[in-house]
Amino acid sequence: MIRILLRCINLLLLLYLMAPIIVVVATSFGSSAYPLFPPNDLTLAWFRKFWENPELREALRLSATLSATSTFLATIIGTLSSLAIVRYRVPGKSFFSVILLSPILFPAIVLALALLVAFQRVGLTQSFKGLVAAHTLLITPFVIRLVMASLEDFDPSLEEAAQNLGAGWWRTFTRITLPLIRPGILAGAVFAFIMSFDELVVTLMLAGPELQTLPIRIFNYVQYSSDPTISAISTCLIAVWLVIGIPVYAKFLSVRHS
Amino acid sequence: MTASEIKNEQELKQEQTTNPRGTLPWFLITPNLLLIGLFMLGPLLLLARISLEGYQSGQGIIETWQLSNYSKFLFDPFYRQVLVGTLVLGAEVTALCLVLGYPLAYSLSRARGLKRAVLYFCILMPLLTSTVVRTFGWMILLANNGFINKTLMSLRLIESPVRLMYNVTGVIVALVEVLLPFMVLALDTALLNIDLSLYEAARNLGARGPRIFLRITLPLSLPGVVSGCVLVFTGALSAFVTPTLIAGARLKVMSTVIYQQAMALLDWPFGAAIAFVMLVTIAVLLVASLQLSERLRNA
């Protein structure tokens, strides 16, 4: 009896969790001029509208460039720090790992205001450089977490063996360490890219009218108008993140929970 | 040899073989320290300083040392209402997430194989979808002529549409959905940590379902309850996207007031003060929860 009740409750809860996603995806295929759920008739017109809208395409291009640049920097910086902390045993290891992971502890709105105030003084507001700096700061912790986990996973005696056979530290690093942690680095980079691409609050306060990323465009559109084109963009994002994100996210959570 | 001794020996060995080549680790960690120092700690210090400055409309920021921004936020009736309202919203969202998240987490922790994978997927999927997109979905659902109102009316449960947008009810409905996965995952971890032989022992001693739940499952999952509540409360306290999109100007919470002060009114000192009140609230909460979970572990 209790078991059946529990099953019904859980089914309702899963429906509640998935409801907004189902609605967004369904309305992106609907033919009415505003997002209607359930849709009356099916069409692909909104996807074409998204692609033919120059503003949105420019936003997509900007978001992709910004996220790719920040992810590139964050992956290098984060991997180097993970090596320093796990492999080369920097003194004060736990202190440094808390400091380096701390950007995800702060509310985005607080970091956004702090960066706005600081960037105003050095002329970095409303600049691509400023956005790259902010995004790199926000996503590096995700890289560090995943790379640290893969470094902790592998057997240090492999490096030992290489060194006993006469390999220098650089050769040991490029031939042994790097190939073994490559999956961790890749997972960190993918995760960081998604986080950067979806970032809204900090970007919103620093960007200015010339640098409207895709999340900012979506945020402004849904505030002032109701248009299934936004559903179409969202459906595309959901689909892409689903394919590249789920395995990485599961990995990230298992890291956090262990 | 105990496990910890073995571990120490391994660590020692590792230290000898990959010995810290003097400056190398420092060299590797420097870019990241620069990143944190220049773009986080520096700006936060500057923000702290600015929160103590004055502001006069027309004149801009006045360089003084004063506490008036803090006293304005804490004692002015309008802003105190913002603070209290945000904390109450956070508490309501946290309580709902706990009540709704527990049964889901319980089933998740008990499921195995494919069933667990499917459940896990349904909980991860929302986390991977950006908050803006999910809130947009809620805007469609909660509208006056939206799906929820239409369904309730066709079932003749209500006569006219219930207002769900532009008020706190809608924000709670959407925010609970946005933050629920964090609660479920925190509870799932705690529930998975419970030793299964405890259940067996209880059953052998004659305990039945509800009693096992109240005497074993619930008390042993409390660390997960604490960490889940902290995660959700912090998330609700600093939420910006969901309150802005669902309630607009009708509901003022701390983060939307910070945004308004910073972007529309340009009173940065006051915005900075609210930001630090938010940080202190979260810090107090974190310290309290750490002490609570320490006590739970010892009990």
Give A84-109 pLDDT, tens digit per residue: 988 877 778 888 888 999 999 899 99
Q: How confident is the model at residue B15, as a pLDDT?
A: 47
Task: Check CB contact under 8 Å for B129 and A246.
Answer: no
Compute the half-sphere exposure of residue B81: CA atoms within 13 Å on the CB side of its CA: 4
In contact, B66 and B53? CB cutoff 8 Å: yes
ipTM: 0.90
| B interface test, pick of A22, A32, A95, A117 with most B CB neighbours within 10 Å | A117
Hey, are the CB atoms on B141 and A38 less than 8 Å from each other? Answer: no
List the single residue in B with minimal CA-CA distance to A104.
B40
Give the domain ranges of chain B.
Answer: 68-298
Q: How high is the pLDDT of residue B224?
A: 93
Of A3-12, A176-185, A221-230, B17-26, which gets the smallest average pLDDT? Answer: B17-26
Lowest mean pLDDT among A103-112, A246-255, B98-107: A246-255
What DSSP designation does A212 have?
A: -
At A243, the amino acid letter reads V
Contact between residue B177 and residue B138 where contact means Cβ atoms under 8 Å apart: yes
Check CB contact of B273 with chain A, cutoff 8 Å: no
Whether chain B has a CB inside 8 Å of the CB on A189: the answer is no
What are the C-alpha distances in Å from A99 to residues A68, A94, A185, B124, B227? 25, 9, 20, 27, 20
Strands (E), chain B: 54-56, 60-62
Share of chain A above pLDDT 90, in %: 60
What is the mean pLDDT of the segment spanning A142-150? 92
**pLDDT tier, B50 (very low <50, low <70, confident <90, very high otherwise):** very high
The Cβ of residue A166 has, within 10 Å, a number of other Cβ atoms equal to 7
A142-156 mean pLDDT: 88
Assign A258 a pLDDT band (cuts: 50, 70, 90).
Answer: very low
Residue B33 DSSP SS3: helix
pLDDT band, very low/low/confident/very high, at B162 (cuts 50, 70, 90): confident
State the pTM of this model.
0.89
Mean pLDDT of chain A: 90
* C-alpha to C-alpha distances, A105 to A141, B116, B122, B235, nearest whole angstrom: 10, 29, 25, 10
Tell me the C-alpha distance between A230 and A221, whole Å: 8
Report yes or no: B53 and B64 within 8 Å, Cβ to Cβ. Answer: yes
Query: CA A112 to CA A101: how far, in whole Å?
Result: 17
Mean pLDDT in residue range B100-110: 93
- The secondary structure of residue A34, as a DSSP letter, is S
The CATH class given to the B68-298 domain equals mainly alpha
Q: How far A10 CA sits from the closest chain B CA (Å)?
A: 6
Provide the 3-class DSSP secondary structure of residue B257.
Answer: helix
How many angstroms separate the CA of residue A244 from the nearest CA in chain B?
A: 10
Structural domain spans, chain A: 61-257
Who among B31, B33, B124 is closest to A250 (CB)?
B124
CATH architecture designation of domain A61-257: Orthogonal Bundle (1.10)
